[in-house]
Structure 1
């Protein structure tokens, strides 16, 4: 019989982390493949928080919901600034 006075330790390993940049790329491609304007749809999602702006094609909707909206905006702004040499 096991000793029931000791606490068992259980650790769940988290899966691989995906970056905001990768999420935006996957979502952009999924929206394009389905014939949507990806910029309009992503803006709609970020402004409203309504995931129905994002297609479920290729798991894009569930993927974008894994990231906070402010993190998505931060990634987009950072990339925009870097590509426009505002440093």
Structure 2
């Protein structure tokens, strides 16, 4: 029987940071250009996996779908924590 009291380790393959950054910036700019709230739309996509949150304009939908959502979230959390540590 498995012991569910132990903390599991999460391992991931390193996603090229520049690629994810470039894609997210393109998606953000595209959403803003189309009149959407970029943060709300990106969060909606990351939580649901539904590509309909991201427009096809500027190839934004295809680009973001090539990235693993878990990798995107991991990089966002890492970036946020690193920024917070720098400002301490």
CA displacement at 1:55 relative to structure 2: 0.9
Q: How many residues align?
A: 71
Bigger Rg over Cα: 1
Q: What do the CA deviations read for 1:31-56 (whole angstroms, capped 9, x no partner)? A: 01111001110111011110000011
For 1:65 and 1:58, locate their aligned partners in 2 and report how far apart those are by CA, in whole Å: 13
TM-score, normalising length: structure 1: 0.74
Q: Following the alignment from structure 2 to structure 1, what is the Cα–Cα distance between the partners of residues 25 and 84?
A: 19
**Contact 1:56 1:62 survives alignment (8 Å):** yes
C-alpha RMSD of the superposition: 1.8
Which residue pairs with 1:6 in the alignment? none
Residue matched to 1:12: none
Deviates more, 1:36-45 or 1:76-85: 76-85
Q: Report the counterpart of residue 31 of structure 1 in structure 2.
A: 31
- Secondary structure, aligned partner of 1:85: helix
Name 1:73's counterpart in structure 2.
Answer: 73
Structure 1 unaligned blocks of 5 or more: 1-16
Mean alpha-carbon deviation: is it higher for 28-37 or for 76-85?
Answer: 76-85
In the alignment, structure 2 segments of 5+ residues that lack a partner are: 1-15
- 1:82 to partner: Cα distance: 1.6
- Which structure: greater helix fraction? 2
Pairwise CA distance, 1:59: 0.5
